[in-house]
């Protein structure tokens, strides 16, 4: 018997210390690279976007892939690639942790649209404000001392 799943995640993580190092002119290259990682892991990318200091990824998680290993692979591989390609000269590393939030497949269009509009969204809200809002919206308890 085959395995059937529909696990829709929004994955969010930032640059180390939320440094504004992801230059707009090269972000599309980074997004394509991460898409390749997801394809290699048999995950479906629905949307990826971000601004200078963080990324949002909407993806279906393949049942053979754990969330933590996927995020680790994305962060480690993309860090090495960014440094090799020299596309973000001031980039050092990604932050240690991440946020991951599940959604019903019926919410996919709203989630995709939300991620597409990251730049305009962050004209009025900081990453920290947005992240706290996501944690609260999903009922996740957190300690503010870990949200630099």
Average pLDDT over residues 78-97: 96
Say if residues 54 and 18 touch (Cβ distance below 8 Å). Answer: yes
Domain ranges of the chain: 8-146
Say if residues 47 and 115 touch (Cβ distance below 8 Å). Answer: yes
Distances, alpha carbon 101 to alpha carbons 43, 63, 74, in Å: 16, 16, 17
Distances, alpha carbon 51 to alpha carbons 19, 31, 104, 120, 125, in Å: 11, 11, 25, 10, 12
Distance of CA 41 to the CA centre of its chain: 16
pLDDT tens sequence across 5-58: 888 999 999 999 999 999 999 999 999 999 999 999 999 999 999 999 999 999
Q: Given CATH 3.30.70.1290, say whether it is the number of domain 8-146.
A: yes
Stated pTM of the model: 0.93
Bigger pLDDT: 123 vs 105:
105
Average pLDDT over residues 84-93: 96
Average pLDDT value for the chain: 94
Which pLDDT belongs to residue 80?
A: 97
Average pLDDT over residues 118-146: 87
């Amino acid at each position: 018997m085959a395995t059937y799943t529909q696990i829709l995640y929004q994955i969010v993580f930032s640059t180390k210390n939320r440094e504004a190092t992801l230059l707009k002119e090269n972000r599309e290259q980074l997004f394509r690279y991460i898409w390749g990682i997801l394809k290699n892991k048999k995950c479906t990318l629905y949307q990826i976007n971000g601004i200078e200091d963080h990324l949002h990824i909407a993806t279906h998680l393949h049942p053979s892939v754990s969330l933590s290993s996927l995020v680790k692979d994305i962060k480690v591989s993309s860090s090495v690639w960014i440094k090799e390609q020299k596309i973000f000269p001031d980039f050092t590393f990604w932050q240690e942790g991440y946020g991951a939030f599940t959604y019903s497949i019926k919410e996919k269009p709203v989630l995709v649209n939300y991620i597409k509009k990251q730049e305009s969204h962050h004209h009025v809200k900081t990453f920290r404000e947005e992240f706290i809002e996501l944690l609260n919206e999903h009922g996740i308890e957190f300690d503010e001392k870990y949200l630099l």
